[in-house]
A and B are shown apart, each in its own frame.
Chain A
Amino acid sequence: MEIKYTIQGLLVYTTIAAYLLAFVTTILRRPKVGHIIYLLGFAIAVCSFGYRWYHVRHVPLQNLFEVFLCLGMIYPVSLFCRKALRVGGYPADMLIGAIVLFPAGFVFNAEPQHLPPALQSWLFTPHVAVYMLSYIFMAKATFQAICQLAGRNPKPGENLLLPEEATYRIICVGFPLLTLGLILGSYWGKLAWGDYWGWDPKELWSLASWLVFLGYFHFRYMFGKKHPRINSLWAITGMAAIIITLLWVNLSRIFSGLHSYAT
């Protein structure tokens, strides 16, 4: 664990602090103030991402530091879920934002790197960006699944969906992005490495995550809401597979492969 005494580090730490403060304020029943601080945190997160972009001179999605910096810009997803899907969970989103920025602030190396030839492709940004967006949606879905398992329903009058339905709705938004990420990656693999499927550990784990959510849809189609707890467990398992795909595959020596440069 290292502290980054740089402008980039300062921006990351300020965002984390803002998200945590927003979380505490919301929990202490000051939701409007919490929302303003959350919005402020998001603005700092955007500045942090923009600063990194300017600094490295390419879209900063090359390594885990940059990817987690991107994941920290969670606010639009919160807003979309609230307004379009009637799914709550602002305090959880604030916490998710702080949690994903933590490794960027304290764990991952922020040394700027040149893009290796394989990453110099128009597919670099859309492939990684759709994956990151889907991961944020799936993280939100997992939170709803946990709420379902814990029996925490929204308060009456909030006009929000029940956690089981909310989990399903969010996964319905995230799954096409997950599919798009997988297919763009495959197409890119064909252009860069000669094969659209290389049986690389990262590819196989991302296929496994996709398949878990595919299983979720089939199971939910078969049984509907009869077994809400099992539905929730499917969603949580999917998120576990995503975490392994994103982190373990890149950090562990067990899974060395074509995607190893992304550490």
Chain B
Amino acid sequence: MWLALLLIIVLTVLSIYGAFIGAERAQRFFNQPPLVVYWTALAILLIVGFAAFRRLVRVPGLLLIHAGCVLILAGGMWSSQAGHNLQKKLLGIDKIRSGRMAIYEGSSDNQVALDGTREQKELPFSLKLKDFRIEYYQPVYLRIMSRQGRQWKIPVEVDKEFPLGDEAGTIKIIKAYENFKIGTQEGKSVPFDDPSPGSNPTLEVQITEPSGQTSTQYVFERFPGHSHGQDKFLLSYHRVISDYISELQIIEGDKVVAEKDIEVNHPLHFGGYHFYQSSYDDKAGQYTVLQVVSDTGLYVVYAGYWMLCLGVIWHMWLRHIFSRFRAKST
């Protein structure tokens, strides 16, 4: 028991140390050989515990808790990079542990850039990106601040005039551009919405002063704070992203064998891998970046989670509740 307590204290101290050094360094730290020795010792101690302490086997809750911890440790080690290397050596299973792949809209790819190295590996199937899109929370607002510090917030609705009070006049959104550009027409600068790849969301705003004098301002989402000295109002336009969606197809040979729209929290699972929405082309929205993670060892960890949860709930709650009911009924 002293040894168990010691290992718990050591892991507590190591966790606190890991929290101070940041996630990336902590991950490397906890996968170093001395820590691998620690994890192995912990797993062995838990297994030896079943033989040494009969109570761990006789009491169902304790059995579930400790067996659950063994499974979590075993699954964690099996799913680590070292575990994958071992599987390659012993079983000849050569799987990518984790990596990233960038796929352009309309094209397919099976190359994965491995995490932590400059190597690339191929998946046994290809992924095709049908479409990538970003969804925004609605309604989108235009924020207005006068030089005196008064503030307004109006929904972005084209051609609708909003009064700002007797002293400030009115404001109207003339046009919302997705990819604002300026061209020349007959020697004059003319704004237009460029249909070619790119993104420069902009609002064209018309301000009418109480005197009837009108002026036009452009509000760029990508360049917040852009204003001229003579502008009466400071305007800002910012859309909040609600979701990133990649419409994917899995292709084996020439056949589409699976299809899924992946979003954050909704990965695709296929062929022993999970595919996650990781990043995207924030300039033009032309490609998506997927995170590829092997599922090796995952279900062992999940089984451990279930056992640990059931064990703790049984041991600390349910058996007391049941014994109380039993005592009442007798």
CB-based contact B298/A218 at 8 Å: no
Find chain A residues with CB under 8 A from B325 CB. Answer: none
- For chain A, residues 112 to 135, give those with C-beta under 8 angstroms from any C-beta of chain B: 114-118, 120-121
Find chain B residues with CB under 8 A from A192 CB. Answer: 264-265
CB-based contact A218/B276 at 8 Å: no
Q: Which of B27, B265, B293 has the most CB of A within 10 A?
A: B265
CB-based contact B23/A200 at 8 Å: yes
Docked pose: A118 CA to B4 CA in angstroms: 37
Interface readout for A178-201 with B: 1 if CB under 8 Å, 0 if not? 011001001110111111111111
A208's partner among B1, B19, B137, B264 (CB-CB below 8 A) is B19
* Size bracket, chain A contacts: 35 or more
Docked pose: A256 CA to B301 CA in angstroms: 27
CB-based contact A222/B1 at 8 Å: yes
Find chain B residues with CB under 8 A from A183 CB. Answer: 305, 308-309
Main secondary structure of the interface of B (DSSP, over half): helix
Residue on B nearest A122 in the bound complex, by CB: B265
CB-based contact B309/A179 at 8 Å: yes
A11 interface residue (CB < 8 Å to B): no
Residue on A nearest B10 in the bound complex, by CB: A211
Docked pose: A116 CA to B263 CA in angstroms: 12
- For chain B, residues 193 to 235, give those with C-beta under 8 angstroms from any C-beta of chain A: none
A254's partner among B8, B20, B76, B240 (CB-CB below 8 A) is B20
Find chain B residues with CB under 8 A from A255 CB. Answer: 19-20
B5 interface residue (CB < 8 Å to A): yes
A110 interface residue (CB < 8 Å to B): no
CB-based contact A199/B267 at 8 Å: no
CB-based contact B316/A172 at 8 Å: yes
Docked pose: A222 CA to B309 CA in angstroms: 23
CB-based contact B1/A211 at 8 Å: no
Q: Give chain A's interface residues, CB within 8 Å of chain B.
A: 114-118, 120-121, 172-173, 175-176, 179-180, 183, 186-188, 190-201, 204-205, 207-208, 211-212, 214-215, 218-219, 221-222, 249, 254-258
17 contacts between A and B (CB under 8 A): A114-B242, A117-B241, A173-B316, A175-B312, A179-B309, A187-B305, A190-B298, A194-B276, A194-B278, A196-B301, A198-B27, A214-B8, A215-B5, A218-B4, A222-B2, A222-B5, A258-B23
Q: Which 10 A-B pairs have the closest CB atoms?
A: A199-B26, A117-B264, A204-B19, A201-B19, A208-B15, A211-B12, A199-B27, A121-B265, A176-B312, A204-B15
